[in-house]
Amino acid sequence: MRAYYFDNLPGDQRLPHDYVPSRPVSTETLASLNVRFWHIPVEGYEDAVDAVAKERGYKNRDTINVSKEGMGDIYEEKIRGFFEEHMHEDEEIRYILSGSGFFDVRETPSDAWIRVAVEPGDLLVLPAGIYHRFTLDEKDQIKALRLFQDEPKWIPHARGSATDANQHRLGYLREIGVGA
Ligand SMILES: [Fe+2]
């Protein structure tokens, strides 16, 4: 995993969008936003991922495979959809099995985008209520475990005034010590 500030320049979302020189973001900064990260080598990952899942109460999981090859014509539309800024009422937990991609998370209160580049072995937990988006990179392929506590609630709540007032959004702001 590598985290850095997104350069906000127009152009293909799949490009790195790294400032020159890069503006790295520390794991402490991510932790202050309640973004958690582990690296667990894919070779023999099961026990270590199970241990994190047990500790954090992730009872269920499935596998998602997103690739240009596998999706054909709908691929471009699909990855544009993932890139719409949104939040969820539950944590978003991903363990990368193969391929790579970028999770962009909003730093609050600066409102800057932090880009988190994930690779195989990365386990990333985005807290409920954080605004984020996802894109594949130029390799156009990622396979990941999605872990969840009970029922999967993948509903994306697009950023806007209604979502800003969502209890999970407000709860997140309280947890990170921003706002009411
Ligand atoms: Fe999401």
Residue 135 lies in a domain: yes
Residues of each annotated binding site for Fe(2+): 86, 88, 92, 132
- With respect to residue 139, please indicate whether it lies within any of the assigned structural domains: yes
Q: What's the CA-to-centroid distance between 144 and ligand 1, angstroms?
A: 13
Quick: pLDDT tens for 121-179: 999 999 999 999 999 999 999 999 999 988 877 799 999 999 999 999 999 999 999 97
- Whole-number Å distance, alpha carbon 131 to ligand 1 midpoint, is 8
In a domain? residue 136: yes
**Count of domains observed in the chain:** 1
Distances (CA, A) of 119 to 98, 102, 103, 124, 138: 7, 9, 11, 10, 13
Is 138 within a domain? Answer: yes
What's residue 152's pLDDT?
77
What count of residues does the chain have? 180
Question: Is 166 inside a domain boundary?
Answer: yes
In a domain, 122, yes or no: yes
Q: What is the CA(88)–ligand 1 centre distance, in A? A: 6
pTM beyond 0.75: the answer is: yes
Over range 59-77, report the average pLDDT: 92
Residue 95 has a pLDDT of 98
Q: What is the tens place of the pLDDT at every residue in 9-52?
A: 999 999 999 999 999 999 999 999 999 999 999 999 999 999 99
In this structure, what CATH number is given to the domain that contains residue 151? 2.60.120.10
Q: Is 180 a domain residue? A: no
Provide the residue range defining the domain that includes 152.
2-175
The per-residue pLDDT for 130 is 98
Query: What is the reported pLDDT for 179?
Result: 73
